[in-house]
Amino acid sequence: MIDALLARLEREAEAEITRVAAEGQAAAAAITASAGDALARRQEEALAQREESRREAVERAVATTRHAARQRVLAARAQFLIRVFAQLENALPGIAATPAYRSALSRDLARARAFLGGQPGAIRRAPTGGLRLVTADGRLEVDVTLAGRMERLRPRLALEALAALGRGLPA
């Protein structure tokens, strides 16, 4: 009977050992799986952060490059307009000598006299071409010069020159 009792106790102990070992292995497998999942999540998060950092760096580089390119384009346009208006200024005396300009000058003079409002005035010839009307008291002067007209038309002329440049036409 004692032998049977000892055999039974050994079997129960073996069963308990097997059960506890199986539970331990299951727990270890669960912990390992959980740790693997956590590691995979951390790696994915780290990868996502690196990708986001790289994307932001690329976006900054593209924005910086675009900004620099826009600055170069604006500087080139400004230089272009400086050359265009310098050439136009140099051409003013030649334009003032044309018959078409001289015939338009009388019409421009009549319009300029309207600004004097009936006040007596004098016509003065401008050295660069065109005329200036000045009231007798000197308080009002009407500019009918080519240089004055060019300055008044500068914004529109600049837009037209840039548009012609954009179309590839000689400006």
User: What is the model's pTM?
Assistant: 0.62
Q: What is the pLDDT of residue 69?
A: 93
Residue 63 has pLDDT above 60, yes or no: yes
- What per-residue confidence (pLDDT) applies to 19? 86
pLDDT at 158: 95
22 to each of 15, 17, 26, 27, 132, how far by Cα in Å? 10, 8, 6, 8, 110
Is pLDDT above 80 for 56?
Answer: yes
User: How far, in Å, CA of 131 to CA of 119, rounded?
Assistant: 17
| Number of domains present in the structure of the chain | 1
pLDDT band for position 83 (cuts 50, 70, 90) = very high
Q: Give the pLDDT score at 162.
A: 92
Quick one: pLDDT at residue 171? Answer: 46
**Rounded to an integer, what distance in angstroms lies between the CA atom of residue 19 and that of residue 32?**
20
Q: What is the pLDDT of residues 140-169, one digit of tens each?
A: 888 888 899 899 999 999 999 999 888 875
Q: Is residue 28 over pLDDT 60?
A: yes
Domain of 107 in residue numbering reads as: 2-167
Cβ atoms 92, 111 nearer than 8 A: no
**Is residue 120 over pLDDT 80?**
yes
More confident residue, 40 or 2: 40
Cα distance between residue 33 and residue 37, in whole Å: 6
Are the CB atoms for 162 and 77 separated by under 8 Å?
yes
Say whether pLDDT at 17 is over 90.
no
Nearest to 130 by CA among 111, 112, 143, 115: 143
Task: Say if residues 131 and 144 touch (Cβ distance below 8 Å).
Answer: yes
Q: What is the pLDDT of residue 169?
A: 56
Average pLDDT, the chain: 88
Among 96, 98, 138, CA closest to 120 = 138
- pLDDT of 139 > 80? The answer is yes
